[in-house]
Amino acid sequence: MTDETPSTDPQRRRFTGLTRRKTSSKVRVIDRVARWVIAVGGIGTIVAVLLVCVFLVSVAIPLFRSARTDSERTIAAGKSDSPPLQMGVDEFRLLGWTLSVDGQLQGFKLHDGQPLGEPQAIRSEDNDQAAAMTCCAVAIDFKCKKSFEDLPNGTAKVCMFGFADGSVRLGAIGYKTTFLDDSAVDPAIRALKVADEALEFQGGMVQRTPTGQLRLQQLVKMLDPRTPPVSDSPIEQIDFSLRVEGENAQPIFVARSANGNITLNAVKKRLNLITDESTITVNSSSVPLPTGVSGKPLRTLISGDGDNLFLLWKDGTLVRYEMAESEPPQQVERISLLPRGVELSAATMVLGKRTIMVGDSAGGMSTWCRVNEMDSTRTHLEKTHEIHGLNSPITALCCSPQSRAMAVGDAAGNVQVVYDTSERVLSRVAAQGGSAIRTLLISPKEDELLADNQAGITRWDLDIAHPEVSLRTLVRPVWYESAPQSSHVWQTTGSTDDFEPKFGLWPLIFGTLKATFYSLLFGVPLALMAAVFTSEFLHPSVRARVKPMVETMASLPSVVLGFLAGIVIAPVMETIVPASIAAIVTVPLAFMLGAYLWQLLPIHLAIQYRRFRFACMLLLLPLGLLLAKYLGPSIEQRMFGGDLRLWLSRPEIGSGTPGWAIILLPLSAAVTFLLISLIVHPLLRNVSRGWTRTQAALVDLLKFVSGICITLVLALILGWMLTIIGFDPRGSHAGSSWALVGTYVQRNALIVGFMMGFAIIPIIYTLADDALNTVPSHLRSASLAAGATPWQTLVRIVIPTAMSGLFSAVMIGLGRAVGETMIVLMAAGSTPIMDMNIFNGFRTLSASIAIEMPEAARGTTHYRILFLAALVLFAMTFVVNTAAEVIRQRFRRRAYEL
């Protein structure tokens, strides 16, 4: 043979004497090109497919990156003789301002700290003789409220100033943006290019925007007229919040004056429509000081809704007052925030002004939030989070205007950026000079960090990344603001500006597992048993027709299944809950009853009509369903107080016994089966010698019927016992999340389990059938020849041999159920709750991705979390499928060896 093979060596002569023709270069070139194209294309394609995983990881990984603070630069804007009380930066990071303790507002260039324009003094009236500013409070978020709508773009900081004469003024410090006409400015400014450094112009900064316009940012301040004095001595501390009433925001503020009096004041501003002048009135009430505390309070704070007032003393005492409409504040709570020996050194409120963050002299930080008490409408303060990392006393705290990120500065000049909810320390830097930090600022877009100390202002570029997420917040319960305890929550959108997105992945993973569990519970037995029957007992000609029919089920698009489940079946199922639950029991019973009746047939008839056996089975399904239709409602009437859904939702109705009985039916059936096979069968084996087949079959039937009765009674007794002990399947109290059953929701796990069956049955069925077919037929023949019945052959020979194949079929079905999207999207109600209740909805990873991905902006935390969810899904299915594949390959090898 080798001799006849044409050699590629052109030199070699053939024995026939003919010269071998050279392989034409064209063929060679084409061959080489084809080799390269196929190799490159093939490898490229495979790599492209494998790239999916790499890309998902690359998007999800930045979630866990810590914040970046770099480009540190000290700018000399701070003056050591009058330290700034407040600072501000515009959203384009061009100009900043400081408001010093003596009431001077000074703008400066952010990049070098050079002052912009002259300082403007803030006084109680707009003349030089008026009282000087003594204190100032700034609203956390930058949204300019209605009363300052003259300030464009809503970028102003709303402030309230207190003055030496006991009056206050509401005001705003912000930036005016104007777009300049190119022809109206100096050539130097006209020559500005996109991305050039900004230039000073008319006391502001001018820059060319990416769209080519010249944009001028100028610092402006606006002040309302002063209020009548609320105290006769200078105001030393002030805090305010804006209550939105209709069109206007009405400030409510708390002021502590030098003589120690604390007053709560509501400001009303009325506009006279004719004269266009506004009159300001203040409704003051004095805050009663608690007994037993010494000295002036360190901080006075007021909550965002203006309904709570907090006084904090240096020794850590916090007194909370509640304010009802037009009533003096009532002291409701007094707690100690700190352990003995530690002093309170700084306190502020977090975005939304519901949470207080305090820093102590030991460098510790903790946040305190009002939480609802269990089973009551009362609230109390509770420590929700604790953050460590600094060792010197904390001297400055600043909350980000966008999130619950905070900047913390200590006496040693260290600055830390932390996040409240996730308790993450995002970044840590040291300011120049190493002296105590006096004021801190996080810019409106969280991209700039400013710290002021003796050495001046130090600035950093800040990239805060994804502070709200850590591995712990994703999978562990988290204590969110105002929640009574820590919990797993997935809630990504909210209605208010200060809403905090909650990314607990666990509810979604739980939902995924719940969907998978219930669909496997329904689909796996059905698919495996159907495959067994098809492979072992069905005539080949019937089998050839039946198998493609089940396989058509696989080709049904899942959106169709989802539509039918959510829109068609769910509303119907709601009306026939008892019957459909009864059907789970009656349909198998009907088939078994058919079998026992079939046994009654004389043997020759049984053999003769064997080909009608499958037809008989077909008839038994309607029988089982009819039985369920009649039994279901009557059981509901007798045992569930006439209305199953009412029974489910109200644990006080009826007892838990019937519910337990139904849940425990499989268990008691198994026990009964064991009892019968251990006790009755040996007895019968002795007795039945000499019986005819019909006699034996009759006894068998009797055994079956009595078995059913015993099962029922056993289940009822077990259920009764559990109820006596005090367990109720609906949970020991309403709303318990670990109840097995509970309130019926139209779109629930039962529906999903049933409909997902359509998606996974054909896969499991086909693979299981293939696995059973791979079992060599000589094994079967040997078993049958040894006198085993087909059933015995199946149970003892075929199934053990095919076991790993069957297992891998189930695994692949599981993989499909985990990732199914449209069915759960349309039929699971999409509520991200963790609840075992089969009659309740849930939300899976896949459904969440499908719903939320289109809304998530690129690069946001939400976007990356959804990528992480996809990655989790990918990993889950990949692990399951790989396991299945490995098992299948091993099984195949073993089957060939047999």
The residues in 455-514 that bind other proteins, with binding defined as CB under 8 A, are none
Cβ contact 762:554 at 8 Å: yes
Q: Compute the least distance from the CB of residue 235 to other proteins, in Å.
A: 47
| Chosen residue from 815, 829, 832, 841 binding other proteins by CB under 8 A | 815
Kindly state whether residue 870 participates in binding other proteins, applying the rule CB under 8 A. yes
29-48 residues near other proteins, rule: CB under 8 A:
30-31, 34-35, 37-39, 41-46, 48
Q: Which is nearer to other proteins, 357 or 524 (CB)?
A: 524
Please state, in angstroms and rounded to a whole number, the distance separating the CA atoms of residues 455 and 409.
14
| Chosen residue from 124, 207, 558, 711 binding other proteins by CB under 8 A | 558
| Chosen residue from 556, 605, 721, 724 binding other proteins by CB under 8 A | 556
Cβ contact 172:153 at 8 Å: no
Burial environment of residue 494 by CB neighbours within 10 A (0 to 12, 13 to 18, 19 or more): exposed
| Chosen residue from 567, 667, 721, 724 binding other proteins by CB under 8 A | 567
Residue 7's CB is within 10 A of a number of other CB atoms, namely 11
Detail the DSSP E strand segments found in 224-287: 235-245, 248-257, 262-271, 278-286
| Chosen residue from 9, 291, 327, 689 binding other proteins by CB under 8 A | 689
Binding mask 65-104 for other proteins (x = CB under 8 A): ----------------------------------------
Kindly state whether residue 246 participates in binding other proteins, applying the rule CB under 8 A. no
Tell me how many residues contact other proteins (CB under 8 A): 148
656-675 residues near other proteins, rule: CB under 8 A:
none
Burial environment of residue 437 by CB neighbours within 10 A (0 to 12, 13 to 18, 19 or more): buried
Q: Compute the least distance from the CB of residue 44 to other proteins, in Å.
A: 8
Supply the DSSP string of 459-512, one letter for each residue.
Answer: EEEEE---TT--HHHHHS-B--TT-SS-B--EE---SSTT---EE-SHHHHHHH
Nearest CA to 77 out of 104, 112, 101, 102 is that of 112
Q: Compute the least distance from the CB of residue 83 to other proteins, in Å.
A: 42
* Residues contacting 158, CB < 8 A, separation 6+: 138, 139, 144, 145, 148, 170, 171, 172, 242
Tokens of 261: 């009096």
| Chosen residue from 3, 5, 11, 197 binding other proteins by CB under 8 A | 5
Q: Which is nearer to other proteins, 72 or 91 (CB)?
A: 91
Kindly state whether residue 198 participates in binding other proteins, applying the rule CB under 8 A. no
| Chosen residue from 506, 591, 727, 807 binding other proteins by CB under 8 A | 591
Nearest CA to 636 out of 576, 585, 587 is that of 576
Tokens of 416: 């830390």
Q: Which is nearer to other proteins, 113 or 594 (CB)?
A: 594
| Chosen residue from 76, 271, 471, 560 binding other proteins by CB under 8 A | 560
Q: Which is nearer to other proteins, 294 or 552 (CB)?
A: 552
Q: Which is nearer to other proteins, 171 or 578 (CB)?
A: 578
Kindly state whether residue 695 participates in binding other proteins, applying the rule CB under 8 A. yes
Kindly state whether residue 747 participates in binding other proteins, applying the rule CB under 8 A. no
| Chosen residue from 184, 690, 726, 897 binding other proteins by CB under 8 A | 690
User: Using H for helix, E for strand and C for coil, what is the string for 509-531?
Assistant: HHHHHHHHHHHHHHHHHHHHHHH
Cβ contact 96:112 at 8 Å: no
Please state, in angstroms and rounded to a whole number, the distance separating the CA atoms of residues 651 and 28.
82
Q: Compute the least distance from the CB of residue 586 to other proteins, in Å.
A: 11
Kindly state whether residue 776 participates in binding other proteins, applying the rule CB under 8 A. no
Q: Which is nearer to other proteins, 346 or 538 (CB)?
A: 538
Supply the DSSP string of 294-325, one letter for each residue.
Answer: -S--SEEEE-TTS-EEEEE-TTSEEEEEE--T
Q: Compute the least distance from the CB of residue 132 to other proteins, in Å.
A: 48
Q: Compute the least distance from the CB of residue 193 to other proteins, in Å.
A: 8
| Coil, helix or strand at residue 158 | strand
Please state, in angstroms and rounded to a whole number, the distance separating the CA atoms of residues 457 and 74.
6
- The stretch near other proteins (CB under 8 A) out of 24-32, 222-230, 245-253, 491-499 is 24-32
Q: Compute the least distance from the CB of residue 57 to other proteins, in Å.
A: 11
| Chosen residue from 83, 389, 433, 588 binding other proteins by CB under 8 A | 588
Q: Compute the least distance from the CB of residue 778 to other proteins, in Å.
A: 11
| Chosen residue from 854, 893, 896, 897 binding other proteins by CB under 8 A | 854
- The stretch near other proteins (CB under 8 A) out of 127-135, 252-260, 595-603, 653-661 is 595-603
CA angle 276, 280, 285 (to 5 degrees): 165
Q: Compute the least distance from the CB of residue 752 to other proteins, in Å.
A: 15
Cβ contact 308:323 at 8 Å: yes
Q: Compute the least distance from the CB of residue 836 to other proteins, in Å.
A: 24
Cβ contact 300:348 at 8 Å: no
Kindly state whether residue 874 participates in binding other proteins, applying the rule CB under 8 A. yes
Q: Which is nearer to other proteins, 228 or 682 (CB)?
A: 682
Kindly state whether residue 681 participates in binding other proteins, applying the rule CB under 8 A. yes
| Chosen residue from 16, 184, 686, 893 binding other proteins by CB under 8 A | 686
User: Using H for helix, E for strand and C for coil, what is the string for 816-867?
Assistant: HHHHCCHHHHHHCECCCCCCCCCCCCECCHHHHHHHHHHHCCCCCHHHHHHH
- The stretch near other proteins (CB under 8 A) out of 195-203, 250-258, 326-334, 567-575 is 567-575
| Chosen residue from 592, 710, 712, 717 binding other proteins by CB under 8 A | 592
| Chosen residue from 533, 720, 727, 807 binding other proteins by CB under 8 A | 533
- The stretch near other proteins (CB under 8 A) out of 92-100, 223-231, 456-464, 594-602 is 594-602
Kindly state whether residue 825 participates in binding other proteins, applying the rule CB under 8 A. yes
Residue 545 sits at φ, ψ, to 5 deg, of: -90, -35
The alpha-carbon radius of gyration of the chain (Å, integer) is 39
Q: Compute the least distance from the CB of residue 689 to other proteins, in Å.
A: 5
Cβ contact 744:649 at 8 Å: yes
600-629 residues near other proteins, rule: CB under 8 A:
603, 606-608, 610-611, 613-614, 617-618, 620-621
- The stretch near other proteins (CB under 8 A) out of 358-366, 482-490, 661-669, 773-781 is 773-781
Burial environment of residue 392 by CB neighbours within 10 A (0 to 12, 13 to 18, 19 or more): middle
Q: Compute the least distance from the CB of residue 67 to other proteins, in Å.
A: 23
Burial environment of residue 746 by CB neighbours within 10 A (0 to 12, 13 to 18, 19 or more): middle
Kindly state whether residue 826 participates in binding other proteins, applying the rule CB under 8 A. yes
Cβ contact 249:172 at 8 Å: no
| Chosen residue from 295, 341, 540, 726 binding other proteins by CB under 8 A | 540
Give Cα separations from 550 to 431, 526, 764, 803 (angstroms).
Answer: 71, 12, 11, 22
**Position 16: which residue type?**
T
49-68 residues near other proteins, rule: CB under 8 A:
49-52, 55-56, 59
Give Cα separations from 252 to 225, 594, 847, 861 (angstroms).
Answer: 16, 80, 44, 35
Residue 776 sits at φ, ψ, to 5 deg, of: -60, 140
Question: How would you classify residue 291: left for phi > 0, otherwise alpha for psi between -120 and 50, otherwise beta?
Answer: beta
| Chosen residue from 10, 12, 22, 23 binding other proteins by CB under 8 A | 23
Kindly state whether residue 708 participates in binding other proteins, applying the rule CB under 8 A. no
Nearest CA to 238 out of 258, 222, 220 is that of 258
Binding mask 131-170 for other proteins (x = CB under 8 A): ----------------------------------------
